[in-house]
Chains A and B, each alone.
Chain A
Amino acid sequence: MKRIILSAVIAAVMGGRLCAAVAEDSKIFTPFFDMTLNEAAYMPSVGNIFSGGNINTQVGLLAKVTEKDHIFGLYNFNYAGQGFAPQDSKQFTDRSMTHAFNFEYRRNINEKFRVRPGVSLSSDYSRSGANEAWKNGLYNMSALGFQLAADYIFDFEKNGVVSLTYLSKAVKFPNYTDLLREFQDPSNTANANGGLQDQGIKQVSLRPIWGKWFGGITYTLQNFDNQKVVENTGVYGTTKQKDTTTAVDAGFHHALWIFELYPMASYTMHRSNQNFMRYKSLNDSASATFVSKNYDYNELTLSVPVDLNITSKWALGGALNMTSRKYTDRNRRDENNDYVDGLQKNLMTTLTGSIRKRINDTAMVRLYYALTVASSNNKFEKYMPGNYTGNTIGIAYQLSY
């Protein structure tokens, strides 16, 4: 679920970058190419050493049909490998792979106003530490959607643009099954496999860019097609699950002497009408505890990367990344999986130091070391570590045009 929200927010943020891809005056076709590769070794204080990384390839083409009519097509391959992740989001060993296609028609209404209708389709594969075949991933999903975006240029001199985007998507999870329901009633496969995670997503975002500044507000609504809300009796009722996420983000990119800063902050409020019934084990109904609004949280993320450009080729880099999540209604648990006083709070901080070499205008390589410190007042860590420290040593390449 977290992945869907993250994908939706990233799509909104990326939208700003990609809509900035403009046709060169002399060309009918302008390509867009970006390949990044990041591979790292991870050494956590909980669990064994592992390696993981990220591959992202974006290939696009902007076609200038007439002066006012442009068509933009983009293919994006993304692989997110094993790695440290904020608590309650994914396990170290989880991986995912996405193929996404976007087609956008751009029409300049006048000098200041442009509209961008488009369609998008994507396939997302997931894989857990059990190394199941990609096609069998429990959370595999496919999405088909359309968007309508409008850009208004309010300052030509400082590249001031504000974009309003509406996005609608139908998301299907063909392999998803409710393991608890299957265990409770093995013959009732319709309830366990009947597209419980299938959902419709609607998203509205407003994103201004002005000079060195960028920001935006994104509202996402997830309407589940079949999943019902758990009631305090421990059984699913008749109300369908509905989640909303409101995210505000802002940042800037500024170069001052040899310093290059690009900090960003975002605040996310996630609300769901889904509840949670905690069982200590599958056969232990006596320990059942009902937690209303179990999934509601507020999250603050902060990213402060700084590069110190020693020469035109070499730079020293440092970065602070922080994710702080506070649940609004979920109490923390002790080591025995018992709820105790106080709401659950998670904090993950990563300090990174790096050396970057620019090979030419289009290529760069970065060698980095990161120290991750994750802490949580939730001490029940049987399935997912919440309190650990980790070291990461990695190398990243980027080629973009």
Chain B
Amino acid sequence: MKRITFTLTALLCFNGAAFAAIDWESKGMQMAGEIIANPAGFFYDFQQDLEGTTPLPPGKTWGIQTGLFPTAIPLTYANVSGKVRLHGEGRIAPGVPQVDLIGGYWDMLAAKMATKDSKTIDSAKFGGYYMGGIISASVSPKVRTFWGYKHSVMAAKLAFKPDEDGKLPQFMGTDLNSFDTGFKDDFIIAGIETPKGVNKLWSMQLNYGIKTQTFSSKVSWYGKYFELGLNIFPEGVLVVHPVWNFHLNF
């Protein structure tokens, strides 16, 4: 008992020493700096949250999807995605994989409202689209691997106008007129899917951007209506995105 007490005391001491070092204010400043340095990268991570990059379930020919969190709520990304099956696995000949086309579009409603209501924002456009294809093949009754390509594009444009006093917004002592940034890349997708229960699937996938070397790992659980996921952006500002999407497959 004495040894256990000593061990627990030592652990608590270590905890105290370690947790005392957290400086939330400087962490927040660091994150703000990263967003300013690469705003397109920050907003594109959320586009990846709404992109439907898993294959259609076996037997389904088309499907629609919309991202609920963190895309529609709270970021006001109005979005819709679709999938169409071109070939069912084994239809033409045994062993020929399933082929799906994927694509989607989003537009940030908050940017439109800001343009309408703000006295300093002249115009704002935050939106994007993606399109691609996914090949999937069963390697055992319980495992399906999938491979894909997607072309992703995002635009982030913001233009300011002088306020009533004729002043433009300032950043670090400089007048801000506008910024026009965007993101465009071709991605390779590799993933694996396995059943978790009746009509429930579990998948992991890697998305890798060839030009920008942007990458993410998506872990998802999905059923008939909803998809829950954890999207990991190791080099992003917000590394972990909890994701909730709604989909229907027919």
Q: Are A397 and B143 in contact, CB atoms less than 8 angstroms apart?
A: no
Residues of B within 8 A of A401 (CB): 139-140, 143, 145, 192
Binds A, one of B11-19, B99-107, B124-132, B162-170: B11-19
Residues of A within 8 A of B232 (CB): 37, 39, 53, 55
Any B CB within 8 A of the CB of A368: no
Decide if A391 is an interface residue (CB 8 Å cutoff). yes
Is A44 close to B, CB under 8 A? yes
Q: Binary interface profile of A, 353-373, with partner B (CB < 8 Å = 1, else 0)? A: 000000111110000000101
Known: A48-B27, A79-B215. A359 touches B21 (CB 8 A): no
Let me know if B3 is at the binding interface, CB within 8 A. no
A227 CB, nearest partner CB in chain B, Å: 28
Task: Report whether B139 and A33 are in contact in the complex, using a CB–CB cutoff of 8 Å.
Answer: yes
- Quick one: closest A residue to B38, CB to CB? A131
Asked if B213 is at the interface (CB within 8 A of a chain A CB), the reply is yes
Expressed in whole angstroms, the minimum distance between the Cβ of A299 and any Cβ of chain B is 24
The reply to whether A360 and B208 contact each other, CB–CB distance below 8 Å, is no
Determine whether the beta carbon of A359 is less than 8 Å from that of B22: no
Residues in A with CB closer than 8 Å to B15 are 391
**Contact of B194 with A359 in the complex, beta carbons under 8 Å:** yes
A57 to B246, CA, bound (A): 28
Which of A53, A95, A360, A391 is in CB contact (< 8 Å) with B18? A391
Does B206 interact with chain A (Cβ within 8 Å)? yes
Residue of B nearest to A134 (CB): B213
Say yes or no for B117: interface residue by CB 8 A criterion: no
Q: Give the interface residue-count category, chain A.
A: 35 or more
- Residues of A within 8 Å of B145, CB to CB, are 31, 33, 401
**Cβ B192 vs Cβ A35 within 8 A:** yes
Q: Which residues of B contact A371 (CB under 8 A)?
A: 11, 14
Decide yes or no whether B34 CB sits under 8 A from chain A. yes
Partner of B23, one of A48, A51, A134, A391: A48
What separation, in Å, do the CA atoms of A39 and B21 have in the docked complex? 21
Q: Are B27 and A391 in contact (CB under 8 A)?
A: no
Residues of A within 8 A of B26 (CB): 48
Q: Counting CB contacts under 8 A, is A97 at the interface? A: yes
Known: A397-B204, A401-B139. A49 touches B14 (CB 8 A): no
A120–B14 Cα gap in the complex (Å)? Answer: 44
A285 within 8 A of B: no
A399 touches B192 (CB 8 A): yes
Closest to A99 in B: B208
Contact with B along A32-45 (1 / 0, CB 8 A): 01010101000111
Bound-state Cα–Cα, A57 to B23, Å: 34
**A125 CB-CB contact with B under 8 Å:** yes
A390 at the binding interface (Cβ < 8 Å): yes
Chain B positions 19-77 with a Cβ under 8 Å from a chain A Cβ: 19-23, 26-27, 34, 37
Q: CB-CB < 8 A to A318: which residues of B?
A: none
Q: How many residues of B contact A (CB 8 A)?
A: 40
Contacts of A55 in B (CB 8 A): 206, 215, 217, 232, 234
Q: Chain A residue with minimal CB distance to B145?
A: A33
Asked if residues B213 and A362 are in contact (CB atoms below 8 Å), the reply is no
The reply on B219 being an interface residue by CB < 8 A is yes
Give the residues in chain B near A31, CB-CB below 8 Å.
Answer: 139, 145
Q: Find residues 192-209 in chain B having any chain A CB closer than 8 Å to their own CB.
A: 192, 194-196, 202-206, 208
CA A134 to CA B208, docked complex, whole Å: 13
CB distance from A337 to the nearest CB of B (A): 24
Distance (Å) between the CB of B190 and the closest chain A CB? Answer: 6
In the complex, which residues of chain A have a beta carbon less than 8 angstroms from the beta carbon of B240?
A: 39, 51
- Which of A47, A51, A52 lies at the interface centre, i.e. has the most chain B CB atoms within 10 A of its CB? A51
Q: Which residues of B contact A49 (CB under 8 A)?
A: 21-23, 27
Q: Is B91 an interface residue (CB 8 A)?
A: no
What are the residues of chain B within 8 A of A363 when measuring CB–CB?
194, 202
Answer yes or no: A59 CB below 8 A from chain B CBs: yes
Query: With the chains together, A134 CA to B234 CA distance in Å?
Result: 13
Asked if B142 is at the interface of the complex by the 8 Å CB criterion, the answer is yes
Task: Identify which of residues 96-144 in chain A touch chain B, using a CB-to-CB cut-off of 8 Å.
Answer: 97, 125, 127, 131, 134-135
Q: Say whether A290 faces chain B, with CB atoms less than 8 Å apart.
A: no
- Is residue B239 within 8 Å, beta carbon to beta carbon, of the partner chain? yes
Inter-chain CA distance A49–B19, complex, in Å, is 8
Q: Which B residues are CB-close (under 8 A) to A59? A: 190
A35 to B193, CA, bound (A): 11
Known A49-B21, A371-B14; contact A57-B143, beta-carbon cutoff 8 A: no
Residues of chain B within 8 A of A175, CB atoms compared: none
Given contacts A360-B142, A361-B142, contact A79 B18 (CB under 8 A): no
Shortest C-beta distance, B138 to chain A (Å), equals 10
Q: Is the CB of B17 within 8 A of A95?
A: no
Q: Are A47 and B21 in contact (CB under 8 A)?
A: yes
Contact indicator A362/B234 (Cβ below 8 Å): no
Chain A residues near B143 (CB-CB < 8 A): 33, 362, 401
Instruction: Closest B residue to A54 by CB, please name it.
Output: B234
In the complex, what's the smallest C-beta–C-beta distance from B215 to chain A, in angstroms? 7
Q: Which of B158-202 contact A (CB under 8 A)?
A: 190-192, 194-196, 202
Note all chain A residues with C-beta closer than 8 A to B22: 43, 48-49
Closest-CB distance, A130 to chain B (whole angstroms): 11
Q: List 17 A-B contacts (CB under 8 A).
A: A33-B145, A35-B206, A35-B217, A39-B232, A48-B23, A49-B21, A49-B27, A95-B235, A134-B213, A359-B194, A360-B142, A360-B195, A363-B202, A371-B11, A391-B18, A399-B192, A401-B192
Contacts A135-B213, A362-B192 aside, 15 further interface pairs with beta carbons under 8 A come to: A33-B143, A35-B206, A37-B232, A45-B20, A48-B21, A48-B23, A49-B22, A81-B234, A127-B235, A131-B34, A134-B213, A391-B18, A391-B19, A397-B219, A401-B145
The interface of chain B, by Cβ under 8 A from chain A, is: 11, 14-15, 17-23, 26-27, 34, 37, 139-140, 142-143, 145, 190-192, 194-196, 202-206, 208, 213, 215, 217, 219, 232, 234-235, 239-240
3 cross-chain pairs, A with B, having the tightest CB-CB distances, nearest first: A45-B17, A389-B14, A134-B213
